[in-house]
Amino acid sequence: MGYSRSLIQEVLERNDIVDVISEYVNLQKSGKEYKGLCPFHSEKTPSFMVNREKQVYHCFGCGVSGNVITFIMNMENIDFSEAIKYLAEKCGLNIYETKRAFSDNEKLYEINKESALYFYKNLQSKNGMKAFEYLKNRKINELSIKAFGLGYAGPGWDNLLNYLKNKGFTIDLMIKAGLILEKNGYFDRFRDRIIFPIFDIKNRVIGFGGRTLGDGIPKYLNSPQTPVFNKSKILYGLNKARRYSRENMIIVEGYMDAISLHQLGIRNVVASMGTSLTIDQAKLLKKYTKEVIIAYDTDIAGQEATLRGLEILKKEGLEVKVIILPNGKDPDEFVKSHGKESFMELIRNALSYTDYRLMKLEEKYDLKVSEGKIKYLKEAIDIISGLDALEREVYIKKISESLKISERTVRTEMIKFVKRENKEFLKNMYINGNNRYNNIQLNLSDSAYKKAEKNILKIILNNPKYIDKVAEKFTLDDFEDQINKKIFNLICHMWNKKRFLNLQEFSSYFKEPEQISYISELIGGFIDIDEDKVERFLDDCMNLLMNRKIESRIKEIGEMIKKCFEEDRKEEAKQLQLELERLKKGIYNFRKEVDL
């Protein structure tokens, strides 16, 4: 759902950041700001600062920054649109969403909700005694049954169909929701099954899973794909787990695994509803956590799924670990046999992505014979080649111990591997390195220039009197970082139009959480420098960018000279060489003058 900038601005203006954050954090007045313990990391000394004037927060401990929207997104584990809606409702602001009053999807939510109530009541009735006894034997208590809305579909062919007809729902809608099937008439999809309602993060019922109580095939049956349900894009239990996933999220295969762990108080758990973790599910996990712990079954299918899941999660940029469950048990069986603390110990001892892959390699090859050792070494080096230098050294030692060969041998094979992989790259680098007109080296790293851009924006956002000074020397193209370019453009536009910066209005132009956090840090103006030295600091930052501007022109002319020689345009090349010498001399004097 997209919201207009004016609405976002109104939400920001109506929700005072100190008042909102005070509902979660005990804030104490500290000068012009408010201070408290950071809710985003563990600390004993308060380093979390909230600025009422600028309506931003910043933690000097973990570095997080943001405004009232990003705070609610992080605390409630919801996305930007949901945070806007949450804050709008909080301040009594009526949001007119661009949807029909009662859309087709809403009808599906309604029929799913009614069906879930029917299944739940059926479980509580005499008809559900067999199902209730089954859950009791599986040690699922009544609190969990209620919390997850578990139900029962009786053995009849048209029980749900008739119930929904009496409630006024049409056959077409029942088919569209995947609740009934058509074949020589109409009949219920779920029959004689324990029912697991599947919720989205807004706690709306979007589909169902059913486990047979008899000899029905398949053992587990899910709703088909509908306009509101796509199994590959949903994680069971995410509506509950998202509030507990700040450190990590545990992913299991089945409904019972997730429910059993939740029941024991391990609430950062979701189920992929089978062994095939998808890219969409990985993207969904990334919204709520940075680290995923896989706890799939240890049978062959589960192990294969773990390896696939590792790769998918890693490609999405998530940290990944794997729990090794003993004796072929699944999480549900394990916690019922060994208890919560034993499972927590498994979490603490979970293997890293690299350790797990190396362990599977050891299982794959016979390391007692030379052929097995050679194959293991080749694949192991491929696995660790992408690690940083320190991690590589650790694993080189581990591999040498596993194979009972010297670390020097492993390191030699690693060098050979890297050389083979990078042969073409190294060749290109050599050619470029000997290019006469491409040897202008930057004395400052890109990060230093980005920092200079960032500090300039911080200063002019909090001291608009310097905007004209910066705008006189620099254009939009002089800012290389895309977000900085956008911010500088917006500052100049607002300043030229009004000669005034409304920081709330300024913030409303940005909707991505990362951008909002960045903007909030800029607006917070957290630069450790005395106020009387701000202009000197600004000059230093501007000089850095001017240095880059000249270097960029030097590089550009070098390429032009090269092209002139290739096309035998000697006179033009001569003129460009003169300009190149002037620029080189100029940049030398410039650096000397500004002490770069």
CA terminus-to-terminus distance, the chain: 49
CA–CA separation, 238 vs 233, rounded Å? 11
Architecture category of domain 104-229 in CATH = Alpha-Beta Complex (3.90)
Mean pLDDT of all residues in 140-157: 95
Mean pLDDT of all residues in 432-444: 33
Prior bond of 197 cis (ω within 30°) = no
Architecture category of domain 5-90 in CATH = Alpha-Beta Complex (3.90)
Q: Alpha carbon 61 to chain centroid distance?
A: 21
CA–CA separation, 250 vs 240, rounded Å? 13
Side-chain-side CA neighbours of residue 109 (13 Å): 10
For residue 244, the one-letter residue type is Y
Domain locations along the chain:
5-90, 104-229, 238-356, 365-421, 446-594
Q: What is the CATH number of domain 446-594?
A: 1.10.860.10
Inter-CA distances, 152 with 36, 89, 196, 224, Å:
48, 36, 9, 18
The band of 275, judged by pLDDT with boundaries at 50, 70 and 90, is: low
Tell me the fold of 238-356: Dna Topoisomerase Vi A Subunit; Chain: A, domain 2 (3.40.1360)
Give me the chain's average pLDDT, please.
Answer: 84
pLDDT(468) > 50: yes
CA–CA separation, 355 vs 343, rounded Å? 19
Side-chain-side CA neighbours of residue 490 (13 Å): 18
The tens digit of pLDDT for each residue in 331-361 reads: 999 999 999 999 999 999 999 989 999 998 9
The tens digit of pLDDT for each residue in 182-239 reads: 988 999 999 999 999 999 988 899 999 999 987 778 899 999 999 999 999 999 999 9
Q: Per the structure block, which two tokens stand in for 409?
A: 């041998």
Unique residue bearing structure tokens 């003169």: 578
425-429, 510-514, 548-552, 578-582: least confident range? 425-429
Largest CA distance in the chain: 99
The tens digit of pLDDT for each residue in 165-183 reads: 999 999 999 999 999 999 8
